[in-house]
Amino acid sequence: METAEYTPEPQRGRIHADAVCYARAVRTQEWPAMADGKGSRAPSVWSTDLRQTFRALQGKPAFGMLVGADHKRSDEREERLTQATAGIPGAILWFLLATLAITVIALGICIPRRNSRGQLTTLVVITALLTTTLCIIRDVDRPFGGIIDVEPTAITEVEHQAQRDFLAHHTAAELPCDAKGNRRTT
C-alpha cells in the first residue's frame, strides 16, 4: 500500500505487515476456496486489523487516502467473491445434461440399423459438440477452478510488494502472520 508511506512509522509498519498478511490469506486460503464458490474468513482478520490501525490516524492528512484505498480493496474482494459464485445453478446444468442424454438416446434409437454410418457419425459429432458446450458453460461460470482457472497473479504481486516494503524496515520474524496468512500466536 503506497498510501501507507504518508503515515507515521508505527502505523506504517503495521499497515505494511497487515497488507502482507491479507495478501497471503487471500492467495493461500481464499483463492482455493473460491474454486468451490466460497470465501474464507482469514482475510477479514487483516481487514479488521487495518481498520483498527486507521483509527489511530483519524484526523491526519493520510486518513482519507487510507480509507479510500481500504474501500477499494474491499470492493475488489467483493467482486472476486461474486465472480466465484456460480451464476447457473447446478440443477439447471444437470437438467441440460439429462436433456442431452435423452435426446441422444432417442435419436440413436431412431437411426436405421443398416447403412447408417453418416447418421451415426453426425450423432456422435453433435453429441460431442453439445457436451463440450455444456462443459465450457460450466467452466466459464466457475472461473477460479477447472480448465480456465484464474491464477492469483495480481494478489501474489501485491504480496511481494507489501513484503518488500515491510522488510525494508523490519525482519520477516516481525510479521504477525505465518506463510498462509494465519495470525501467529504469541
The tens digit of pLDDT for each residue in 32-64 reads: 999 888 899 999 999 999 999 998 888 888 888
Quickly list DSSP for 31-62. HHHHTTT---SHHHHHHHHHHHHHHTTTTSTH
What pLDDT shows up at residue 32? 92
All three cell numbers of 68: 479510500
Higher pLDDT, 23 or 142: 23
Higher pLDDT, 101 or 113: 101
Query: Cell 465472480 maps to which residue?
Result: 83
pLDDT in tens, 69-96: 899 999 999 999 998 888 888 899 899 9
Higher pLDDT, 186 or 152: 152
Exposed/middle/buried for residue 114 (C-beta within 10 Å: 0-12, 13-18, 19+): exposed
CA distance readout (Å), 13 to 1, 16, 119, 169? 11, 5, 70, 8
pTM score, whole prediction: 0.79
What pLDDT shows up at residue 1? 61
Give residues with Cβ within 8 angstroms of 37, minimum separation 6: 84, 85, 86, 142
What pLDDT shows up at residue 180? 95
pLDDT in tens, 3-17: 777 788 888 889 999
What pLDDT shows up at residue 105? 92
What pLDDT shows up at residue 172? 86
